[in-house]
Structure 1
Amino acid sequence: MMQQFYPQVQHSYRYELNKDMHLAAAHFIPDDAAGQCKNMHGHTYFINITIAGDALDELGFLINFKRIKDIVHKRYDHSVLNDHSEYQDIFPTTEIVAEQIWKSIQAELQTQGNKPNCLQVVVRETPTSYVVYRPKPEELA
C-alpha cells in the first residue's frame, strides 16, 4: 500500500496510533441528484484511523491494530454498503461511511479499561477525493 499522509489532529494525549487499511466495497446513492453515483458502483477505499490516549492496556497497547482492522475490514470488505443495517435509513456517502466507522471504533474503545479515543477517521474514495471525520469534543469520553 502506498504511504499516505493525512491531516494531523491537535491533541495533548501521550500516545497516538494510526491504522491504515484498504477495502473494496460497492454502494449507490438512490437519488437523481447524485448523478452517476445513483447507480451501483465500487471503490477501493483507503482508510486511516487515528486513536489517542494517555494510558496503555495490560499488553502495552492503546488497542491492538488487529482489533481495529477486524471492526472495519471484516465488516465492509467486498460488500455492498447499502446492505448494512447502519445505512438502512441514510445513504452511504463517504461522509456517512467515515462517521459510521468512527462510531464503531469509538464504541469498542469505550469497552477498554484504558479508554482511548478515536480522534479522526479519513476515508479516501478515489485518488483525488477523501473525507475527514472528527468528532466534537463532547462526543469523546
Structure 2
Amino acid sequence: MFQQHYPSINHNYQFELNKDFNFSAAHYIPSDDAGKCMRTHGHTYFVNLTIGGDVLDHNGFLVNFSELKKLVHDQFDHHLLNELPQFKDKSPSTEIVAQTIYEMVQTSLNERANQPQCLQVYVRETPTSYVIFRPKELNHE
C-alpha cells in the first residue's frame, strides 16, 4: 500500500489512531443515469479509518489495528457489494460504502469499555476519486 496523507479532522481526543487497509470488490449502480457505473465493475478500495479516544484498554490499545481490518475487510473483500446484506435497498456508491463502513465500525466501538469514536472514514475507489465520511452528530472540538 502506498503512503497517503489524509485530510485531518479537528478533535481534542488524546489519542488518534489511523488504520489503512484495502479490499477488492465489485459493484454496480442500479440506475439508468449512472452511465458506465451501471455495469458491474470492480475496484481495489483503499480505506483509512480515523479513531479517537482518551482511554486505552488493558493492552494499552485504543483499538487493536487487526480488529479494525478484520471488521471491514473480511466482510467486503472479493464480493459483489450489491449482494451483501449491508447494501440491501442501498446503492453501493463510494459514498454509501464509506457511510456503511462508519456504521459497522462505530457499532463495534460502542461495545468497547473505553468508548473510542470513529471520526472519519476515507474510501479511495480509484487513483483520482475518493470519499470522506464524517458523522455529523459528534462534536470533536
TM-score per shorter chain, which class?
over 0.9
Measured after TM superposition, the shift of residue 138 of structure 1 is 4.2
% identical equivalent positions: 53
Structure 1 portions without partners, runs of 5+? none
The aligned residue for residue 51 of structure 2 is 51
Q: Supply the distance in 1 between the matched residues of 2:69 and 2:97 (Cα, whole angstroms).
A: 15
CA RMSD of aligned residues (A): 1.2
Q: Does 1:136 align with 2:136?
A: yes
TM-score by length of 1: 0.97
* Bigger Cα displacement from structure 2, 8-17 vs 84-93: 84-93
Give the letter aligned to residue 27 of structure 1.
H
Q: Does 1:111 align with 2:111?
A: yes
Measured after TM superposition, the shift of residue 20 of structure 1 is 0.3
Deviations along 1:83-129, one digit per CA (max 9) or x if unpaired, are: 11121101000000000000000000010000000000000000000
- Aligned to 1:137, the other structure's residue is in SS state coil
- Aligned to 2:114, the other structure's residue is in SS state coil
Aligned residue pairs: how many?
140
Deviations along 1:27-80, one digit per CA (max 9) or x if unpaired, are: 000111100000000000000000000000011001100100111100101111
Q: Supply the distance in 2 between the matched residues of 1:97 and 1:137 (Cα, whole angstroms).
A: 19
Q: Supply the distance in 2 between the matched residues of 1:30 and 1:73 (Cα, whole angstroms).
A: 24
Q: Supply the distance in 2 between the matched residues of 1:139 and 1:112 (Cα, whole angstroms).
A: 20
Measured after TM superposition, the shift of residue 139 of structure 1 is 8.8
- Aligned to 2:86, the other structure's residue is in SS state helix
TM-score by length of 2: 0.97
Q: Supply the distance in 2 between the matched residues of 1:94 and 1:88 (Cα, whole angstroms).
A: 15
Q: Supply the distance in 2 between the matched residues of 1:73 and 1:83 (Cα, whole angstroms).
A: 16
Q: Supply the distance in 2 between the matched residues of 1:3 and 1:29 (Cα, whole angstroms).
A: 30
Q: Supply the distance in 2 between the matched residues of 1:114 and 1:123 (Cα, whole angstroms).
A: 26
Q: Supply the distance in 1 between the matched residues of 2:112 and 2:86 (Cα, whole angstroms).
A: 23
Measured after TM superposition, the shift of residue 137 of structure 1 is 3.1
Q: Supply the distance in 1 between the matched residues of 2:89 and 2:39 (Cα, whole angstroms).
A: 18
Q: Does 1:123 align with 2:127?
A: no
**Matched ranges for 1:42-121 at <5 A:** 42-121=42-121
Structure 2 portions without partners, runs of 5+? none
